[in-house]
Amino acid sequence: MDDHLYSKHLQQSITLHILHTPPPSDRSDYNLLIVNDGQDMDSLGVKETMDSLYKAGKILPLVIIGVEASDRMKEYGVSGKPDYLGRGSQAAFYDDFINSELYPYAKKQSGVRKFQSVAIVGCSLGGLSAFDIAWNHPDKISKVGVLSGSFWWRDLAAEDSNYSDEKNRIMYAKLKASRKKPGLQYWFYAGAAEEKEDRDKDSVIDVIDDTKDIMDLLKRKNVVSPDGMVYVQSPTGTHDYKSWRKVFPDFLVWAFPKSQ
């Protein structure tokens, strides 16, 4: 079903696409998945994947809410830190919407006081947004899926002579400076055929390098357990829903596994 939720933070009505498995006898057994770019859930194969995996007994009872982006270039990014072109200027408001408006709405609509677990997932720029929101709210969100995340997001053009991967990739710099130790679990995906960009000329494309740099930093900061992070790389994966759709089932089983 579709619904609309007016956001005081974003000052507009947000379209929501809501799916769920058959209600469990105890609704407190429900889990929640928030999907960025909810307008593209059909392209990601969300409903078919959920129905198939639940019927096969591979995932737990689940509510999925896809949040339709109004202006993804403004709403997605890193909270409080626009990129060098001013994109992501509303990321903080979108973060507030997810945390203080969508989350209470989801509980009320699902008839639960607290979900068993909550995850958020996104692709490309939506993946960067999902990662940032999870990092900001580990009290509510326990797992995050980032498919081809835009971790290149920067506050200085890469062509600028002063550009530095260490200082100017916004999410990387935020993590590096953070003293938080959120107990999150992470699922990352990147495809080897997504692009040809290679800033450091190491013969590894940026989407892979940037993702692995985030993973390495999480490990160095000791904020994730050895089994709390998954990385999937496809040798033929491209930057599109055709590739993301193929790996989405793996993410869903990882996020909400049902013990056999």
CATH of the domain at 245: 3.40.50.1820
Q: Which amino acid appears at position 258 of this protein?
A: K
Instruction: Give CA–CA dist 132/82, Å, rounded.
Output: 13
* Residue 204 in tokens: 């590894």
Report the pLDDT value the prediction gives residue 155, as an integer from 0 to 100: 97
Quick check: is 122 in a domain? Answer: yes
Burial class from Cβ neighbours inside 10 Å (0-12, 13-18, 19+) for residue 160 reads exposed
The phi-psi region of residue 80 (left if phi > 0; otherwise alpha if psi is between -120 and 50; otherwise beta) is: left
Residue 260 has a pLDDT of 57
148 inside domain? yes
> Does residue 211 lie in a domain region?
yes
What range defines the domain where residue 52 resides? 2-255
| Spatial distance between the Cα atoms of 135 and 174, rounded to a whole number of angstroms | 10
* 260: in domain: no
Record the tokens describing residue 169, joined without a space: 């990739």
Residue 148 CB contacts under 8 Å (≥ 6 apart), including other chains: 123, 124, 127, 189, 190, 191, 194, 207, 237, 239, 243, 244
How many distinct structural domains can be found in the chain?
1
- Neighbouring residues of 144: CB distance < 8 A, sequence distance ≥ 6: 119, 120, 121, 130, 131, 133, 134, 135, 184, 185, 186, 187
Query: CB–CB of 42/17 below 8 Å?
Result: no
pLDDT at position 259: 81
Within a 13 Å sphere around the CA of 50, how many CA atoms are in the beta-carbon half?
21
pLDDT of residue 197: 87
Residues of the chain with pLDDT under 70: 260
pLDDT at 224: 93
Q: Bridge partners of 191?
A: 234
pLDDT of residue 92: 98
